[in-house]
Amino acid sequence: MAALEGKVAFVTGAGSGIGRACAVRLAQEGADVGVSDIDLAGAEETAGLVQGAGRKAHVTQCNVASQKQVEESIAATVEALGRLDLCVANAGIARAGTVLELPLKEWQDQLDVNLTGVFLTVQAAARRMVEQGDGGRIVCMASLAAENTGPLSWGYAATKAGVRMMVRGWAGELGPLGITVNAIGPGLIETPLARPLGGDAGSKVRERAVRGIPLRRIGQPEDVAGMVAFLCGPDASYVTGSYLLVDGGLRDAASGWSPDDPNDPRVAEFARYLQDAGTRNEKLQPLIDER
């Protein structure tokens, strides 16, 4: 029997990228899926993929920033698919800008979708799970940006750090009710949202991005979906309140250059510094050895 046979999942932002991959993967694991997105055409396409995996799909058009739409979307999913066991609060947007220029509207939109949208989704889903009385699994899409930020991306990062912290609080509230809640921190994943950072295959932007990632590739939505399947599956029954990175090692390589990049003029300089350090170490070594 498939691991998630008999379960019903609800995925927001399921009409593209990571959300679509999550919907398909959960279906492959045996779940029927409520496919929700503000983009109806994208959601319908995903629903076709879920059905192609042999499971039921129910499409709802829903803006996660609207409490009414989220509640109606979850109610319609339960009505159509019978129950709710798994929820992936994935929908998100990115609005980049400097503190001098970012319009209030863009700041507010980002908060409303990335932070309030996750709150509204989790609240409505958790209430339904509590009503059913037999637990549940909730996964929220944070980001590596929950812990790394910089110019232009600080607003997005603030929303994702918020998701990470909300999840920690919710784990304490929902754990006694048998519901786990975890956050995922994707690094650079190949989706329309991340195109400005990851570029297209063969582009200079792509080449540079890949060089900065220890595993030397841009992540695929399926990489994140695999973690979602784990968190929704039997092996994660004792995991809650966690923030799990799926970033190819990017977090700790984020200095922006790699010592094995032959085109980077800093490489030769770096090698000289290393050599000087070696000479200095040789001098000090006898003193260190005296113990």
Token digits for 170?
């919710």
Q: What residue ranges bind ligand NAD (CB under 6 A)? A: 12-13, 15-19, 37-39, 42, 62-65, 90-93, 113, 117, 141, 143, 186, 188-189, 191-194
Classify residue 266 by its DSSP letter.
H
Specify the residue, 130 or 158, whose C-beta has the smaller distance to ligand NAD.
Answer: 158
Active site annotation includes 238: no
Report, in Å, the least distance between residue 43 CB and ligand NAD. Answer: 8
Classify residue 193 by its DSSP letter.
G
In whole angstroms, give the CA distance from residue 114 to residue 93: 7
Specify the residue, 178 or 206, whose C-beta has the smaller distance to ligand NAD.
Answer: 206
Specify the residue, 143 or 180, whose C-beta has the smaller distance to ligand NAD.
Answer: 143
Specify the residue, 21 or 174, whose C-beta has the smaller distance to ligand NAD.
Answer: 21
For the chain, what is the HEC assignment? CCCCCCCEEEEECCCCHHHHHHHHHHHHCCCEEEEEECCHHHHHHHHHHHHHCCCCEEEEECCCCCHHHHHHHHHHHHHHHCCCCEEEECCCCCCCCCCCCCCHHHHHHHHHHHHHHHHHHHHHHHHHHHHHCCCEEEEEECCHHHCCCCCCCHHHHHHHHHHHHHHHHHHHHHHHHCEEEEEEEECCECCHHHHHHHCCCCCHHHHHHHHCCCCCCCECHHHHHHHHHHHHCHHHCCCCCCEEEECCCHHHHCCCCCCCCCCCCHHHHHHHHHHHHHHHHHHHHHHHHCC
Specify the residue, 8 or 120, whose C-beta has the smaller distance to ligand NAD.
Answer: 120
Report, in Å, the least distance between residue 154 CB and ligand NAD. Answer: 14
Report, in Å, the least distance between residue 67 CB and ligand NAD. Answer: 12
Specify the residue, 93 or 215, whose C-beta has the smaller distance to ligand NAD.
Answer: 93
Report, in Å, the least distance between residue 180 CB and ligand NAD. Answer: 19
Q: Residues with Cβ < 8 Å from 237, sequence gap 6 or more?
A: 180
Q: Which of 156, 238, 243, 273 is catalytic?
A: 156
Report, in Å, the least distance between residue 59 CB and ligand NAD. Answer: 12
Report, in Å, the least distance between residue 42 CB and ligand NAD. Answer: 5
Catalytic residues: 156
